[in-house]
Structure 1
């Protein structure tokens, strides 16, 4: 049931959700109804589609459909459900406690309101979570996985996130990692101040409103740094999709190395376009010769078996690490 719940909470396309036979019995139906009811209002059409598939599975197995499941399916919200416009938000829950962890607690999940159907546009790329952010969040929050590419512990470290967007990376460190190995500070930065308005609600949803480890600051790449104090680690994900920003991005990372005593920068990138990723690696060669490497290569994210989901068509993901001199 946990895996099924995780898929629903992340809004995995219904056609890709596997419903085990053992979860169609009467007890499971009742449990599922209680789980689904509070979420229906966020995206009724999604739950209409899921319940249709679930009931069909029950019938194929010649199980009896409970009154509770049927009543939910014919609920007015679901019965009259229509496709939501792309700019209407949904509440999504992501598991961020590593790829090999099965059991989950509240600290293992990040809940946020975002627009998963909104792909691009003016200041909109930060309004949904992208694949490389989910991948890197799980890598960083799993001590064993993190140790394969990062030689230092995160305890008492100051971390800066570049292009934080929905905030999955920084929030996951604050909610999961920080409670197990306290960090000194997590500074979440973005060029768009609209991102921070959305983050306030995410803080509340994740019980991080009173967190003293999180800070938020606008940071324009290529401009003088305005962050105070030294920084141990930079993290970022899916910020390398536009070749036009590579020079200013690398300039800013270099400023952190030269002015803020930066030790490591870790950047996860989804390989959507070979030419773009080659340009990114050429820029790394230009700015950080012999100081960077591709630390992790996941060629088939969709094959990962975990409580977080990657579509089978998700391109490969690479994690780059840049080190100080």
Structure 2
């Protein structure tokens, strides 16, 4: 670090203009590069026959949350969220239809756990043919790159990593209408992200392609997007407006309990926990054009 910004709030009083003035003096020498408080550790994540070694942040610190609120640094993409665990638990019922021998585009990949989990499926015959991991955060993509390199058996011609912002035009040569399945896990922390998310997912898909959205309710609302009574139905309605129809809707208690493997980072996020908070997994299909 070539420069350290510092801040403090030591308050003293100065006389002037007939009254005391309170002045803030910066002299505590605190490191303002707050995102260093997010400590990356190497974790083992497992579900059914999938085993992933992942560099990630186990949880955000209060300082990380301050940086996120201030728009200074977003460490959310460095964590593994519950929606990713739900996806891994559901691979046994999704792999063949949604991912096996398919070209996959992951949106908001963060650490890369979704795409890497697909590529690490124990049965090699059920893995995707190619996975492109994308995120709008360059820092998260660096973590994703290191996580892919943790698995040195992954063929480098089987995956790519690329910066991508939802809602922006896709490159016709490499992205537009070239994927069999798009994938997103736990990305709806702001309900306003739904339209650009669906727009990009739709544009990237071939005819009749699938969009797998693993979702845990955590959406933030605003005056432009007030709270809704039924968030799942709201998501389905938004998907319909964006050119999708609901193909499958899976909730945690529909998955075999044997899918959970104990003794890993996913242990705190049990299927019962997911069910209780309203997690669900949507599989949308791109509406055919007749």
Give the TM-score range, shorter chain. Answer: 0.5 to 0.7
Q: Structure 2 matches for 1:205-224, cutoff 5 A?
A: 205-208=150-153, 210-224=155-169
Q: Structure 2 matches for 1:107-256, cutoff 5 A?
A: 108-118=50-60, 120=65, 121=68, 122-140=73-91, 142=92, 145-146=93-94, 151=97, 154-155=100-101, 157-176=102-121, 179-208=124-153, 210-226=155-171, 228=174, 230-256=178-204
Structure holding more helix per residue: 1
Higher RCO (Cα < 8 Å, 6 or more apart):
2
Listed as ranges, the gaps of 5+ residues in structure 1 are 1-84, 102-107
Q: Which of 246, 261, 282 lines up with 1:292 in the alignment? A: 246
Deviations 1:80-115 (A, max 9, x none): xxxxx851222211003x2xx6xxxxxx31111211
CA distance in 1, matches of 2:247, 2:155: 37
TM-score (structure 2 length as normaliser)? 0.67
Structure 1 position 92 matched with structure 2 position 43: yes
Kindly indicate whether the alpha-carbon contact (under 8 Å) linking 1:300 and 1:316 is maintained by their aligned counterparts in 2. Answer: no
SS in structure 2 of the partner of residue 323 of structure 1: strand
SS in structure 2 of the partner of residue 187 of structure 1: strand
Structure holding more strand per residue: 2
Q: What is the RMSD computed on CA atoms of the aligned residues? A: 2.9
Kindly indicate whether the alpha-carbon contact (under 8 Å) linking 2:99 and 2:128 is maintained by their aligned counterparts in 1. Answer: no
Number of aligned positions between the proteins: 222
Structure 2 CA distance for partners of 1:199 and 1:256, relative to 1, 3 Å:
closer
CA distance in 1, matches of 2:260, 2:117: 16
Listed as ranges, the gaps of 5+ residues in structure 2 are 1-35, 220-226
CA distance in 2, matches of 1:117, 1:218: 24
SS in structure 2 of the partner of residue 176 of structure 1: coil
TM-score (structure 1 length as normaliser)? 0.60
